[in-house]
């Protein structure tokens, strides 16, 4: 079994708690479904937000999902690079799996599709 990283990102239109939580939950669910993983397989989730998103901790959206109460979550602020994509939430999910690195399906939604079109396989 290997420890693999799965990336995902999305954007929101406003710095509002409800929108941040909904976008985070949507992104996580799509990553989990696309990669056919369950919380028990996940080592940890690193969540970053751009400095313009400070209305809530995105981890709150994950913590309330069924089965996610023991998954380690960490939130942080993305470095403020000039010209970077605003209002962006990023996930790095570390998962135990027998799949190869190239089998990981990275998910980019909304304006975040522009970050890594080479890795993004789906947004539906």
Q: Is 2 assigned a ligand-binding role in the annotation? A: no
Which distant-in-sequence residues (6+ apart) come within 8 Å of 63 by Cβ?
Answer: 69, 73
Q: Is the Cβ–Cβ distance between 96 and 3 less than 8 Å?
A: yes
Catalytic residues: 7, 63, 75, 78, 90, 108, 116
Q: Is 60 assigned a ligand-binding role in the annotation? A: no
90-91-92-97 Cα dihedral, nearest 10 degrees: -150
Q: Is 7 assigned a ligand-binding role in the annotation? A: yes
SS3 content of the chain, % helix, strand, coil (to 5): 30, 30, 40
Annotated binding site for prephenate: 7, 90, 108
Annotated binding site: 7, 90, 108
């Amino acid at each position: 079994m290997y420890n693999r990283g799965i990336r995902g990102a999305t954007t929101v239109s406003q710095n509002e708690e409800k929108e941040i939580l909904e976008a985070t939950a949507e992104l996580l669910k799509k990553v989990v479904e696309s990669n056919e993983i369950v919380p028990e397989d996940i080592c940890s989730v690193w969540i970053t937000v751009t400095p313009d998103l400070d209305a809530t901790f995105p981890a709150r959206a994950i913590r309330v999902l069924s089965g996610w109460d023991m998954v380690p979550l960490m939130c942080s602020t993305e470095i403020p690079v000039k010209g970077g994509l605003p209002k962006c939430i990023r996930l790095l999910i570390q998962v135990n799996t027998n799949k190869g690195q190239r089998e990981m399906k990275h998910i980019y939604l909304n304006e975040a599709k522009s970050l890594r079109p080479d890795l993004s396989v789906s947004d539906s």
